[in-house]
């Protein structure tokens, strides 16, 4: 699964640490998600989509390997 978190953070002027604090995870978790090394839980994906005011499908999407 791929995601658009880094782009959304830039649009909203948020650092990894800012976003992490807002959703209650570590900065390392945000980094791992952006590098596609960690697939978030449904709750975490919903929190992120709520912050960016986008649907989950606009932020997270399947790639050809999924």
Mean predicted confidence (pLDDT) in 4-31: 98
Cα dihedral 32→1→15→22 (10° resolution): -90
- Domain regions of the chain by residue span: 2-54
CATH of domain 2-54: 1.10.260.40
pLDDT grade, residue 16 (50/70/90)? very high
Q: What is the pLDDT of residue 64?
A: 84
pTM of the entire predicted model: 0.92
Q: What is the pLDDT of residue 5?
A: 98
Q: What is the pLDDT of residue 65?
A: 81
pLDDT tens-digit series, residues 30-64: 999 999 999 999 999 999 999 999 999 999 999 88
């Amino acid at each position: 699964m791929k995601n658009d978190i880094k782009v959304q953070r830039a649009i909203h002027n948020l650092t990894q640490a800012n976003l992490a604090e807002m959703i209650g995870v570590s900065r390392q978790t945000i980094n791992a998600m952006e590098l596609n090394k960690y697939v978030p839980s449904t709750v975490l994906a919903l929190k992120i989509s709520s912050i960016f005011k986008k649907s989950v499908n606009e932020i997270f999407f399947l790639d050809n390997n999924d």
